[in-house]
């Protein structure tokens, strides 16, 4: 990056979008690995099955505490949900 040159806002947006997409994939993968269906998982995190479906379909949780609860129920860290696996970028 050239000093003084502004960062392309579209580049920043693509990076953020990719990170959020990784969250949805990691959430669903981890839920399935633990053998939870959407209804069971929803009960554990205090959400209806429709909300769990929206979480996996692209609606990011607004409440940071909910994100922590999701990670706790899935026996992982928030960081593990938000980052791509090794070798993926």
In a domain, 62, yes or no: yes
List the structure tokens of 46. 């205090």
Q: Please state, for a pLDDT cut of 70, what percent of the chain lies above it.
A: 74
Question: Tell me: the pLDDT tens digits for 65-75?
Answer: 999 999 999 99
Question: Which domain range does residue 52 map to?
Answer: 12-82
Instruction: Output the pTM of the full model.
Output: 0.73
In a domain, 50, yes or no: yes
3 state SS for 6-59: CCCHHHHHHHHHHHHHHHHHHHHHHHHHCCCCHHHHHHHHCCCHHHHHHHHHCC
In a domain, 58, yes or no: yes
Domain count, the chain: 1
Say which CATH number the domain at 30 has: 1.10.260.40
Residues 3-29, mean pLDDT to the nearest whole number: 66
In a domain, 68, yes or no: yes
For residues 47-70, one letter each, b for 16 or more C-beta atoms within 10 angstroms of the residue's C-beta and e for the rest, the string is: beeebbeebbeeeebeeeeebebb
In a domain, 89, yes or no: no
């Amino acid at each position: 990056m050239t000093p003084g040159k502004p960062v392309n806002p579209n580049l920043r947006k693509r990076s953020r979008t990719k990170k959020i997409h990784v969250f949805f994939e990691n959430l669903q993968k981890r839920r399935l690995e633990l053998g939870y269906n959407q209804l069971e998982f929803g009960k554990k995190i205090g959400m209806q099955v429709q909300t769990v479906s929206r979480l996996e379909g692209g609606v990011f949780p607004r409440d940071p505490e909910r994100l922590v609860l999701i990670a706790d129920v899935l026996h992982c860290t928030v960081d593990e949900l938000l980052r791509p696996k090794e070798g993926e970028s």
